[in-house]
Structure 1
Amino acid sequence: MDAETRALGFEHALRRAGIRITRQRAALLRVLASAEDHPDATQLFQRATEAGAGVSLATVYRTLSALEAQGVVLKVEFAGEPARFEPADGKHHDHMIDVETGEVTEFVSDRIERLQAEIAAELGYEIVRHRLELYVRRKT
């Protein structure tokens, strides 16, 4: 999905929640929609400010909370890191977090998915949803 379509989806979600779309909030939504990483609220605030949005940090937090409540943004919390956000419209993926740089890499592994399903089945369960986070360090 392109950033403009995603930003419009965010706007519709906020309107459903009864939140007015101000010029500042629309700029914030465009910044969030075009993010290719997993920004935290402070990073989104900085990016929106650099884009001339003039949005407050409190508005960023309220907007993210409303988007999460509407199910269009996922809040991901990695150990020892501030909460980060990503659009909920993507396909399932897992995360690798570099413990030295904080860089987050998304990945998909059919082998891991099959193995998790097999283990759950062996124990008499089926997976409803899951998150896999690998905390990694580059080999030297």
Structure 2
Amino acid sequence: MIFQLTAKECRISDVSRKHINDYLAKVTKLLSNFAGDLVVLRLTIRKNIDRYHPPKIKTRKRKNYSDLKSALSNFEGSINFRLLKNSFYTNFKGKTIDECLNLGFMCLFKKLRKFKDLHFPAASEYPHRESIRGGVFNE
């Protein structure tokens, strides 16, 4: 796998690098049947200048102002993942670098699982349609 990490106006700690290496190991495990030079992953993390307030994922009933105000977004980034002719893009914002990495890689893993299920039915976690419809009743 070809991996490129870019950090703009911020430093990535050793703990965050360990998390990145763990995520990369998980990606290579998911794509074990591909050659290493066919997979390109570019990760960019930068400090968010305008400190955008990300919206909450779930709506909740709020009782006071501190619950109403969402967390600040100190960092933002993107993942560009190229596999054969397909490209997957994820953009993420978060309060810490680790939170950004978690959001970005979870979105990437979701897209990779969908790609793998669509293009490689033998490696899918779901059974093939014929195995569902065939059986005792069709014989």
TM-score between the two structures when normalised by the length of structure 2? 0.29
Q: Identify, as 1 or 2, the structure richer in helix.
A: 1
Q: Which has the higher strand share?
A: 2
